[in-house]
A and B are shown apart, each in its own frame.
Chain A
Amino acid sequence: EADIYQTPRYLVIGTGKKITLECSQTMGHDKMYWYQQDPGMELHLIHYSYGVNSTEKGDLSSESTVSRIRTEHFPLTLESARPSHTSQYLCASSQRGRAFFGQGTRLTVV
């Protein structure tokens, strides 16, 4: 199975706080992705990267930002969390089109 890790698994944080969701993969994949998913609903692509120093916005508008300084690391940052950011965030990396997912971070902003 894939080696892609997300931390934290669960996060409850107050409105206005800055947060960073971590994602790391040990497979050497160039492509990495962040998806946002409400429970039982479809996955929406919010950011992706084709390699180091490459980042692009996805199909769903998001107030978050990402960086890709190292191949294995693709953190997502929210500068000022709001209740509307409450959701599950899934990180993935891919090789030849097939994406491998982390366990996700369930974020609750109160």
Chain B
Amino acid sequence: GESVGLHLPTLSVQEGDNSIINCAYSNSASDYFIWYKQESGKGPQFIIDIRSNMDKRQGQRVTVLLNKTVKHLSLQIAATQPGDSAVYFCAENNQGAQKLVFGQGTRLTINP
């Protein structure tokens, strides 16, 4: 069935360094991908999205890369700050199914 998974459950980086969070998806029919950030006690918050007709999209301090050949998605956070500490989820959507499927999440910890 559909599944979206993340390679690492936890990631620890130094403040100021760049962070890279990876995600693998299995449904080749998925055509829309989103990264969410979830802080403790809160609902997931939209960070950035990308459609399958693109391979890269940039936002403020964040970049999402999509490699459809190997079904891989990554989120890059530049100059990581303490406020970036959270669990990050990738999600995929098949427009035909119109359901968002989430992966397991990666907990990002920032070391001072």
Contacts and interface: CB of A to CB of B under 8 A. Distances in A.
Interface of A: 6, 31, 33, 35, 40-45, 48, 50, 58-59, 90, 92, 94, 97-104
B83 interface: no
Contacts of B49: 97-98
A41 B104 contact: yes
B87 interface: yes
Interface stretch (B14-22, B56-64, B67-75, B95-103): B95-103
A40 B86 CA distance: 10
A104 B89 contact: no
Interface of B: 1-2, 32, 34, 36, 41-46, 49, 87, 89, 91, 93, 95, 98-105, 107
B42 A50 contact: no
A43 B102 contact: yes
Contacts of A44: 102
